[in-house]
């Protein structure tokens, strides 16, 4: 007889006692030590799945497998590499719901957002599959007489790719597909919070025809990532994560002159000028702080509002923000899921406490956990806004990585740009204005890798993304991304 007292499991298709294997060379394996850790669903607090903790030895085997595979993968015709990426894209499409659900289970991102992410995964695989077929160098007429010169772009070698938990599949795809398209091989270290969706993506890669060793996945926490960074067999590190970990990795890479791409933290400024379309601007301000439950490097977590429209904007936000639906991330009607992990919940609620201690004025939100009506489970925080007139306020300066925004009033364009640029970060920034001249002027002056005008969070696989200042080095996606995974070689020919 079935037990009718227990609610059905939300992820009935996954055995919570399953031992997942990691991928080294041609084998799906457990850690050599036998050590495992457990995944955790942030919505119902349940642990599920056992995942191996890769030791330094396991990492060395994965790097050796990638090194062996490089000899052939880097030399096969680009057409063959492109065909594998195309088949992979197709398999991602066919398995998109499984990928989306796995990630919801791991980090509580909403199913609606995940369906969009799996769509863009497919596009990224396809796009870099096509780029692999493009020109790989140029012919140059040198200044020296009786010589010819040309360049070729060659793969770098073994790439170590380290990804965070907030958008593990999307951010990994920005490394995986350009690296493989260019002929590199790769060892991936997903976050310990989100390893299983990555393992499933790798399984699809093998089904698509990736030869053994071209893609390896080692699971574990920070020490596994550190072992990968320190591995003598790698040639490049592609990292997305916090600025503090990025700084450690950059130092270790510098000692060995390793190539790096670093996508780090952010504290995006959304500027609302007096002439903004307030319907569109305020809707965007809300998604800027709520998308991904605010756990997004591209969050618009500083809201700069011109004094002449300040009161109206705040009134509108006080209406719009409570309408954002908080709930089970598996429900398509939920716009906000729980924070992805216990430490992240503690970090974000710590900032709510700090906001009060600092004396910031609470404008809307501020409740957490069971203080939120209808919430009986999960680590939820309401979308919350504080007025932060003090430029030293930590709520205004630090990346919170939760649905919390700092509102700042400004009086003119110069002041808006100065405040936007006062952050050590420089990943994304945006503005709402109908004045085309101002939009061009301010876009040039904002210290940011990406500037959005009358839009927010616009992405396309063929447009580069990346930061300046403490937000990182290098660009992902777009044509520039392929260049990040190749070396230019200049070849000279002396003529008789
Ligand atoms: P972390 O820096 O803590 O971790 C990122 C990855 O690095 C994880 O896989 C982590 O493993 C691993 N790691 C931790 N310590 C080391 C180490 N010493 N050497 C090598 N690897 C290590 O970041 P989070 O996972 O907390 O991600 C959130 C951060 O990522 C935010 O600051 C956010 O802004 C940034 N981010 C940036 C984006 C961008 O495009 N610029 C996009 C998305 C996020 P484990 O988690 O298992 O400990």
Same domain for 93 and 114, yes or no, is yes
Asked if the structure places residue 183 within a domain, the reply is: yes
What per-residue string of b and e applies to 294-303 under the rule 16 or more CB within 10 Å gives b? Answer: bbbbbbbbbb
Q: Are 343 and 222 in contact (CB under 8 A)?
A: no
Same domain for 216 and 352, yes or no, is no
Distance between CA atoms of residues 183 and 82, nearest Å: 10
Same domain for 410 and 297, yes or no, is yes
Same domain for 251 and 192, yes or no, is yes
pLDDT for the residue 376: 78
Asked if the structure places residue 13 within a domain, the reply is: no
Asked if the structure places residue 8 within a domain, the reply is: no
Kindly state if the Cβ of 263 falls inside 6 Å of ligand 1: yes
pLDDT for the residue 136: 82
Distance of CA 202 from the midpoint of ligand 1 (Å): 20
Kindly state if the Cβ of 399 falls inside 6 Å of ligand 1: yes
Same domain for 260 and 278, yes or no, is no
Distance between CA atoms of residues 159 and 204, nearest Å: 20
Kindly state if the Cβ of 106 falls inside 6 Å of ligand 1: no
Identify the residue whose C-alpha is closest to ligand 1 atom 23: 241
Same domain for 210 and 303, yes or no, is no
Among 222, 344, 400, the mutation site with the greatest number of ligand 1 atoms within 8 A of its Cβ is 222
User: Whose structure tokens read 């289970």?
Assistant: 105
Kindly state if the Cβ of 354 falls inside 6 Å of ligand 1: no
Kindly state if the Cβ of 240 falls inside 6 Å of ligand 1: yes
List the CATH number of the domain containing 234.
3.40.605.10
Same domain for 389 and 428, yes or no, is yes
The parent domain of residue 391 ranges over 269-461
Asked if the structure places residue 5 within a domain, the reply is: no
Asked if the structure places residue 101 within a domain, the reply is: yes
Same domain for 412 and 477, yes or no, is no
List the CATH number of the domain containing 428.
3.40.309.10
Distance of CA 175 from the midpoint of ligand 1 (Å): 14
Same domain for 230 and 82, yes or no, is yes
Same domain for 369 and 388, yes or no, is yes
Output the CA torsion 347→351→357→358 (10° steps): 140
The number of folded domains in the chain is 2
Same domain for 97 and 186, yes or no, is yes
Asked if the structure places residue 1 within a domain, the reply is: no
Distance between CA atoms of residues 486 and 474, nearest Å: 13
pLDDT for the residue 430: 97
Same domain for 243 and 318, yes or no, is no
Q: At what angle do helices 168-181 and 111-131 cross, to 10 degrees?
A: 10
Asked if the structure places residue 3 within a domain, the reply is: no
Distance of CA 364 from the midpoint of ligand 1 (Å): 30
Q: Tens of pLDDT along the chain (496 residues)? A: 555 566 778 999 999 999 999 999 999 999 999 999 999 999 998 999 999 999 999 999 999 999 999 999 999 999 999 999 999 999 999 999 999 999 999 999 999 999 999 999 999 999 999 999 987 889 999 999 999 999 999 999 999 999 999 999 999 999 999 999 999 999 999 999 999 999 999 999 999 999 999 999 999 999 999 999 999 999 999 999 999 999 999 999 999 999 999 999 999 999 999 999 999 999 999 999 999 999 999 999 999 999 999 999 999 999 999 999 999 999 999 999 999 999 999 999 999 999 999 999 999 999 999 899 878 787 999 999 999 999 999 999 999 999 999 999 999 999 999 999 999 999 999 999 999 999 999 999 999 999 999 999 999 999 999 999 999 999 999 998 999 999 999 999 999 9
Asked if the structure places residue 467 within a domain, the reply is: no
Q: Are 326 and 288 in contact (CB under 8 A)?
A: no
| Catalytic residue ranges | 175, 263, 297, 476
């Amino acid at each position: 007889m079935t037990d009718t007292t227990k609610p059905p499991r939300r992820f009935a298709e996954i055995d919570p006692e399953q031992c997942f294997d990691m991928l080294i060379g041609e084998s799906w394996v457990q850690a050599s030590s036998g050590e495992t850790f457990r995944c955790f669903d942030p919505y119902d607090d349940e642990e599920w799945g056992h995942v191996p903790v890769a030791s330094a030895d396991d990492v060395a085997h994965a790097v050796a497998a990638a090194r062996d595979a490089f000899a052939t993968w880097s030399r096969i015709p680009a057409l063959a590499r492109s065909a594998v990426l195309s088949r992979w894209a197709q398999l991602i499409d066919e398995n998109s719901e499984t990928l989306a659900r796995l990630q919801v289970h791991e980090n509580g991102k909403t199913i609606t957002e995940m369906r969009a992410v799996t769509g863009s995964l497919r596009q990224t695989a396809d796009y870099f599959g096509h780029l692999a077929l493009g020109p790989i160098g140029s012919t140059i007429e040198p200044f020296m007489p009786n010589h010819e010169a040309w360049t070729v772009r060659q793969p770098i070698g073994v790439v170590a790719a380290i990804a965070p938990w907030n958008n593990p599949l999307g951010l990994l795809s920005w490394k995986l597909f350009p690296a493989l398209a260019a002929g590199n091989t790769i060892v991936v270290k997903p976050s310990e919070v989100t390893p299983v969706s990555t393992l499933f993506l790798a399984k699809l890669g093998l089904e698509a025809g990736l030869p053994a060793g071209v893609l390896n996945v080692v699971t574990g926490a920070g020490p596994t990532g550190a072992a990968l960074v320190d591995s003598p067999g790698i040639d490049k590190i592609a990292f997305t994560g916090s600025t503090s970990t990025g700084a450690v990795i950059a130092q270790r890479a510098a000692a060995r002159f390793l190539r790096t791409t670093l996508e780090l933290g952010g504290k995006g400024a959304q500027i609302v000028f007096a002439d903004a379309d307030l319907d569109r601007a305020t809707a965007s301000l809300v998604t800027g702080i709520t998308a991904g439950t605010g756990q997004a490097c591209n969050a618009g977590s500083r809201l700069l509002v011109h004094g002449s429209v300040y009161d109206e904007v705040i009134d509108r936000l006080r209406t719009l923000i409570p309408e954002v639906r908080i709930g089970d991330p598996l429900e398509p009607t939920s716009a906000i899921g729980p924070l992805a992990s216990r430490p992240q919940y503690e970090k974000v609620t710590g900032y709510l406490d700090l906001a009060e201690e600092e004396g910031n004025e609470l404008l809307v939100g501020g409740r957490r956990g069971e203080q939120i009506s209808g919430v009986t489970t999960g680590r939820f925080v309401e979308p919350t806004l504080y007025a932060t007139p003090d430029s030293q306020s930590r709520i205004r300066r630090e990346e919170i990585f939760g649905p919390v925004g700092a509102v700042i009033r400004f009086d003119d364009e110069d002041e808006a740009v100065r405040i936007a640029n006062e952050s050590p970060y420089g990943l994304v920034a945006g503005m709402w204005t109908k004045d085309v001249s101002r939009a061009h002027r301010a876009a040039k002056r904002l210290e940011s890798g990406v500037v959005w005008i009358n839009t927010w969070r616009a992405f396309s696989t063929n447009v580069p993304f990346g930061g300046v200042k403490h937000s990182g080095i290098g660009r992902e996606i777009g044509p520039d991304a392929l260049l990040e995974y190749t070396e230019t070689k200049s070849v000279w020919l002396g003529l008789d």
